[in-house]
Amino acid sequence: MQLPVVYQKAKEQVFKIWTTLQPLLTVHVGLASSAKALIILEQCGKNKVYQEMDACGLHPEGGCCMLDGPEKIESTINMKTLWKNISVEGIDIIFSRDAGRYICDYTYYTSLYYGNGRAAFIHVPPLSKSVTAEFLGKALQAIILEMLKQCREESN
């Protein structure tokens, strides 16, 4: 599902995902246009300081995702462990605790909030000659399979 670059609409879509589909885990993928050949595994979402305008020229009320929400929410997926255990030939993978303060981080925090931490966010580079859609798809598949292993281990 492609989410719009609009805070309120993205929040509504994420809420709908969690309430209607009730997934075990939701994995969000966002574009990091500055990362040329880099996949970034994001550990947590932040609630405040969303001042940048979205595609409709708006920003969230109070600059927050959730007015009553905690400052940050950590994913139940241990991204640092995932980062240490995964290797994809031809692309670097890094671990991050700051997904930025725009739609990506906003969406991630919202999903972590509604999903009680059962969400993940991966920043990917733009497609290029070295990072093709097929290559990126295979890399994301390997990463998501590792995430699902963690989910299974956690539930056992």
User: What's the CATH number where 129 sits?
Assistant: 3.40.630.20
Quick check: helix, strand or coil at residue 54?
A: coil
Q: CB within 8 A of 70, min separation 6: which ones? A: 47
Catalytic choice (28, 44, 65, 104): 104
Question: Does residue 91 fall inside a structural domain?
Answer: yes
Q: Is 56 a catalytic residue?
A: no
Q: Which helix or strand (DSSP H or E) is residue 11 part of?
A: helix 7-16
CB count, 10 Å around CB of 14? 26
- When divided into structural domains, the chain yields a total of 1
pLDDT at 57: 96
Is the C-alpha dihedral spanning 29, 5, 17, 67 positive or negative?
A: positive
- Rounded to whole angstroms, how far apart are CA atoms 19 and 115? 9
- Rounded to whole angstroms, how far apart are CA atoms 81 and 68? 30
CB count, 10 Å around CB of 144? 15
Q: What DSSP state is assigned to residue 62?
A: G
Q: Is 154 a catalytic residue?
A: no
Partnered with residue 94 across adjacent β-strands are 40
> Can you give the residue range of the structural domain that contains 90?
7-154
pLDDT at 98: 93
Are the beta carbons of 56 and 6 closer than 8 angstroms? Answer: yes
pLDDT at 91: 87
pLDDT at 89: 85
Catalytic choice (42, 65, 89, 134): 42
Question: Does residue 83 fall inside a structural domain?
Answer: yes
Catalytic choice (44, 61, 123, 134): 123
Q: Is 42 a catalytic residue?
A: yes
- Rounded to whole angstroms, how far apart are CA atoms 15 and 75? 17
Question: Does residue 2 fall inside a structural domain?
Answer: no
List the pLDDT tens digit at each of the 156 positions of the chain.
999 999 999 999 999 999 999 999 999 999 988 767 799 999 999 999 999 999 999 999 999 999 999 999 999 999 999 999 898 888 899 999 999 889 999 999 999 999 999 999 999 999 989 889 999 999 999 999 999 999 888 776
For residue 29, report the phi and psi dihedrals to the nearest 5 degrees. -125, 125
Question: Does residue 51 fall inside a structural domain?
Answer: yes
Give the predicted TM-score (pTM) of the model: 0.94
